[in-house]
Amino acid sequence: SDLQKQEERGELLQPLIFVLLVLCSILLYFKVSLMDPGFVKPEEEAKEGEDKGQGVVIPQLPGDIKLRRCGYCLVKQPMRAKHCQQCQHCVRRYDHHCPWLENCVGERNHPLFIAYLSVQLVVLLWGGHVAWSGLYFEQSREWLQHNIFLLVSFLLILIFTIVVLLLLVSHLYLISCNTTTWEFMSHHRISYLRHSELENPFDQGIILNLWRFFC
């Protein structure tokens, strides 16, 4: 049959891989959005001066900086934790609250969030290539009527690709510096950064930063 001939020629391999990538993207989305991002439990007691997520004690921080209790949920906040108003919890190594996920990105799901963005970028680039290859341009009203859906799809894919690419690049840069979006945007408001002698006391070099984050 035609299907068997296409399979023998390997013509079904690419569509199969594309579908698997889409499914992987969907599964990662639900995994990141539904999992615990690193909520600080009330029964847990943070150790002073310890970043539990990284397993690193920061000796450069001034000794008068004490771990404080959250004014909302009253738990003792570990270093780099922040209370999220939307989730109503303190989150370890808080990065940001993602409105698209309806969940925080924190210590536990941040690596999966990066994986989700990477897979999503591949899917968008692939979809954009397919949409572009199906376009042939003619300056006529009939051409526009027959290709308007494909043209709009390509433009939407292009916009989403740019957004995802910028988001992924910015997160990889922050990870390579061992900082978070919250720390980067609110450096002047965070006591353990504002009073530190170093601009970023958590930075241990690009290689070690990436290794500790992903491994």
The predicted pLDDT at position 105 comes to 97
Q: What is the rounded average pLDDT of the residues 107-127? A: 96
* pLDDT of 193 strictly over 80: yes
Q: Which of 87, 98, 104, 215 is catalytic?
A: 98
- On the CB side of 118, CA atoms within 13 Å amount to 8
Tokens linked to 25: 């993207």
The predicted pLDDT at position 6 comes to 56
The predicted pLDDT at position 120 comes to 97
The predicted pLDDT at position 50 comes to 47
* Between residues 4 and 205, the one the model is more confident about: 205
The predicted pLDDT at position 115 comes to 97
* Between residues 20 and 130, the one the model is more confident about: 20
Q: What is the rounded average pLDDT of the residues 180-209? A: 89
* pLDDT of 170 strictly over 90: yes
Q: What is the DSSP annotation of the chain?
A: -HHHHHHHTTTTHHHHHHHHHHHHHHHHHHHHHHS---BPPTT--PPTTEETTTTEE-TTS-TT----B-TTT--BPPTT-EEETTTTEEETT--EEETTTTEEE-TTTHHHHHHHHHHHHHHHHHHHHHHHHT----SSHHHHHHHHHHHHHHHHHHHHHHHHHHHHHHHHHHHHTT--HHHHHSGGG-HHHHT-SSS-TT---HHHHHHHHH-
Please confirm, yes or no, whether 98 is among the known catalytic residues.
yes
* pLDDT of 114 strictly over 80: yes
* pLDDT of 2 strictly over 50: yes
CA distance 138 to 18: 29
Angle at which helix 110-133 crosses helix 13-34, to 10 degrees, equals 150
Amino acid letter at 128? G
| Average model confidence (pLDDT) across the chain | 83
Dihedral angle of Cα 146, 150, 156, 157, to the nearest 10 degrees: -170
Q: What is the rounded average pLDDT of the residues 5-17? A: 70
Q: Percentage of the chain with pLDDT > 90? A: 54
* pLDDT of 55 strictly over 50: no
Q: Quick one: which of 81, 122, 74 has its CA closest to 104?
A: 81
Place of tokens 């990141």: 32
Q: What is the rounded average pLDDT of the residues 18-41? A: 95
